[in-house]
Amino acid sequence: MSKYFHISSLTRSIISSIKPYSSDASKKEEVTQMFDGIAPYYDLLNKVLSLGIDKRWRKTAIKHVAAYKPKSILDMATGTADLAIQAAKSIPDVHVTGVDISSKMIELGKEKVLKQKLSDRVVLHVGDSENMDFETDSFDLAMASFGVRNFEDLEKGLSEMHRVIKPGGSILVLEFSNPRTFPFKQGFEAYFKYLLPVIGRIKSKDPKAYSYLYKSVKAFPDYDKFGEILTKLGFKDVTWKPLSLGICTIYEGVKK
Ligand SMILES: C[S@@+](CC[C@H](N)C(=O)[O-])C[C@H]1O[C@@H](n2cnc3c(N)ncnc32)[C@H](O)[C@@H]1O
C-alpha cells in the first residue's frame, strides 16, 4: 500500500485527473508544458486577473512567514519567484531556495532575482516537489503560493515539504479557495468560470490554461479539508486564514 494514504483515493484521483489538456500525458507533464508555455505572460496575467491584489496576498503571506523568524526557507513551486523575492526583501538575512518544475518559469525568476540584486540570498533550481534531493530536516520553513493545487500527487508533495523542514519548523501554503459567502460567492464564481478564462485565453495564447485554473480550484480540498490533510501528515497547530472573502487562504502548521 502507498505510504501516503491520508487523502481518500477518490479525492486523490479527482485531483490528479484535473489536467490542463486532457491528453494521455500525466498531470505533471501537462502542468510543466502549460507553465513553460504561459511563462512570458504569467506575471502580467496575475496582475490583470487579480486586479493587482495578488501582490498584497503574497505580502500578507510573508508577514506570517516573518513571524517564525526563519533563516532558511524552501519556496516550492516558486514559479517566477515573486514569493521568494518578497521573503528576501522583507526578512533580513534569510536564505531562500526556490524550486519549480518549469524551466521557463525558473529562467524568468532568475532574471528577476538578478535585477533585484538578491542572487546571494535567493537561489532557484528546476526540480520536482514530489521528489526532492534536499536532506531531511534541512529548512526552517517551507512555503508555496498557488503551487500545491498543481501537484500531481498533493499528499506526496506536502509530505516532501514536511520531510525537509526541521522538527519545530513551519509550513505556509497560500492557495486559492472557494468563497462561501452570498452574494460574493456567486459573483466571483461567474467571473472565475466565464470571464477570467476568456481574458486568460486572449492574453496567454493558451486556450486551456485558465479554464484549468477554475477547474483545479473547484476540485481543491480547501479550508478545513486542507487543514485536516496537514494535520494527518504530521503538522500541529494547523490554522487557516481566508483572504479577500475567501478567494485565497493562508494555511500554516508546525512540524511535530
Ligand atoms: C500558479 S504557479 C505559482 C508560482 C508562484 N509560486 C506564484 O506565487 O506566482 C504554479 C507553479 O507550480 C509549479 N509546479 C507544478 N507542479 C510542480 C511540481 N510537481 N514541482 C515543482 N513545481 C511545480 C508550476 O510549474 C508553476 O510554476
8 Å CB contact between 158 and 229: yes
Sign, CA torsion 225/17/12/166: negative
Q: Quick one: pLDDT at residue 5? A: 57
Ligand 1 atom nearest the C-alpha of 157 is 19
8 Å CB contact between 88 and 112: no
Determine which residue's CA is closest to atom 10 belonging to ligand 1: 147
Give dist(CA 43, CA 221) in Å, integer: 26
Per-residue pLDDT of the chain (256 residues; tens, 9 = 90+): 345 556 677 777 777 788 898 788 999 999 999 999 999 999 998 988 888 999 999 999 999 999 999 999 999 999 999 999 999 999 999 999 999 999 999 999 999 999 999 999 999 999 999 999 999 999 999 999 999 999 999 999 999 999 999 999 999 999 999 999 999 999 999 988 999 888 888 888 887 888 899 999 999 999 999 999 999 999 999 999 999 999 999 999 999 9
Ligand 1 centre distance from Cα of residue 236 (Å)? 25
Ligand 1 atom nearest the C-alpha of 46 is 9
**Spatial CA neighbour of 212 closest among 190, 191, 197:** 197
Q: Mutation test of ligand 1: which of 102, 108, 110 has the most ligand atoms closer than 8 Å to its C-beta?
A: 102
Cβ(210) to ligand 1 under 6 A? no
Ligand 1 centre distance from Cα of residue 182 (Å)? 31
Q: Between the CA of residue 14 and those of 9, 218, 227, what are the distances in Å?
A: 9, 11, 18
The pTM assigned to this predicted structure is 0.94
Q: Which CATH number fits domain 32-255: 3.40.50.150, 3.20.20.220, 3.30.200.20, 3.40.50.970?
A: 3.40.50.150
Cβ(28) to ligand 1 under 6 A? yes
Give dist(CA 229, CA 178) in Å, integer: 17
**Spatial CA neighbour of 110 closest among 129, 90, 134, 99:** 99
Determine which residue's CA is closest to atom 27 belonging to ligand 1: 79
Q: Provide the CB-side half-sphere exposure for 129 (13 A, CA).
A: 33
Work out the number of other CB atoms within 10 angstroms of the CB of residue 115. Answer: 10
Give dist(CA 7, CA 231) in Å, integer: 12
Cβ(130) to ligand 1 under 6 A? yes
